[in-house]
Amino acid sequence: MSVVVWHEAECGGYEADLSLWEDLAAERDGPILELGCGAGRVLSHLRRRGHETFGLDSDAALIESLPNAELGDARDFELGRQFALILAPMQLVQLLTGAVDRESCFRCVAAHLAPGALAAFAIVEGMPEPVDPSPPLPDTREVDGWVYSSLPIEAHVRDGEIRVRRLRQTVSPEGELAEELHELSLRELDATTLEEEAWRSGLAPAGRRVVPPTADHVGSTVVLMEKEA
């Protein structure tokens, strides 16, 4: 339960990239696969707009209530079908440990794309200055009287990784407070490197898009790769 709640608190309210996924989905006729779909932030949005969507995630708790979602590893999956569009939002490929893992992911993506189909990978290229220099507000959720609060407290680049630390606080219905530090590590990656690795894995560069930053979130580069017809 707590895994889902924290995911919803920290990711569920992010909407800056949704219009881009809508545009890409509208340009493609066929089923859509999201890697690292979590609790369905993107898939649910696209499904409400009439698209046939499927998801893959390595956390069983997150996909438990999500239709057409399977448990699996983005580096090694076999779903038995091909897709018109495969999405990897929220810096999924930067969670992988390095080039070997990323290229394994790209080969799986290539195997699951129909000829002429498209894959889109969102990445953060470095750690930009915040749009709003004032301290961020915590992301919060209330579930059954419990209040969950997640506050970004530090982000820095070190040893080839972008490390983001959050203070997670939980307040029970009786007012008892518990807290923990949570750290997320993203591997540094630029668009050109991603294109080169994906090209070696059977995909061709097909352009780039930009998701602009918001007051609460950094912007990202979305690298498009195509399976040649």
Per-10-residue mean pLDDT, the chain, length 229: 80 90 95 96 96 96 92 97 97 95 98 97 79 70 91 83 90 94 92 98 97 85 94
Q: How far apart are CA 182 and CA 166, in angstroms?
A: 5
- Structural domain includes residue 132: no
Contact 164, 155 (CB under 8 A): yes
Question: Could you tell me the CA-to-CA distances from 205 to 32, 117, 200, 202, 208 in Å, in that order?
Answer: 19, 12, 11, 10, 9
Query: What letter would DSSP give residue 110?
Result: H
If asked whether residues 211 and 111 sit together in one domain, one would say: yes
Contact 137, 131 (CB under 8 A): no
Q: What is the pLDDT of residue 6?
A: 85
Q: What is the pLDDT of residue 217?
A: 79
- Structural domain includes residue 133: no
If asked whether residues 90 and 147 sit together in one domain, one would say: no
If asked whether residues 171 and 114 sit together in one domain, one would say: no
Alpha helical stretches, state H, the chain: 2-11, 18-27, 41-48, 60-63, 92-95, 99-112, 191-200
Q: Write the DSSP assignment of 6-50 as a string of letters.
A: HHHHHHTT--TTHHHHHHHHHH--S-EEEET-TTTHHHHHHHHTT
Q: Is 211 exposed, middle or buried (0-12, 13-18, 19+ CB in 10 A)?
A: buried
Q: What is the pLDDT of residue 131?
A: 46
- Structural domain includes residue 40: yes
Q: How far apart are CA 172 and CA 112, in angstroms?
A: 45
If asked whether residues 203 and 176 sit together in one domain, one would say: no
Q: What is the pTM of this model?
A: 0.90
169: nearest Cα among 152, 190, 156: 152
If asked whether residues 26 and 118 sit together in one domain, one would say: yes
| CATH code (residue 173) | 2.20.25.110
If asked whether residues 59 and 150 sit together in one domain, one would say: no
- Structural domain includes residue 134: no
Q: What is the pLDDT of residue 152?
A: 85
Q: How far apart are CA 158 and CA 174, in angstroms?
A: 40
If asked whether residues 43 and 101 sit together in one domain, one would say: yes
Total count of domains within the chain = 2
Helix (H, G, I), strand (E, B) or coil at 197: helix
Q: What is the pLDDT of residue 135?
A: 66
Query: What is the span of the domain harbouring residue 148?
Result: 139-186
If asked whether residues 67 and 85 sit together in one domain, one would say: yes
| CATH code (residue 54) | 3.40.50.150
If asked whether residues 144 and 218 sit together in one domain, one would say: no
If asked whether residues 61 and 149 sit together in one domain, one would say: no
- In degrees, to the nearest 5, what angle opens at C-alpha 82 toward C-alphas 79 and 85? 110
If asked whether residues 40 and 152 sit together in one domain, one would say: no
Q: How far apart are CA 53 and CA 73, in angstroms?
A: 18
- Structural domain includes residue 131: no
- Structural domain includes residue 206: yes
If asked whether residues 121 and 208 sit together in one domain, one would say: yes
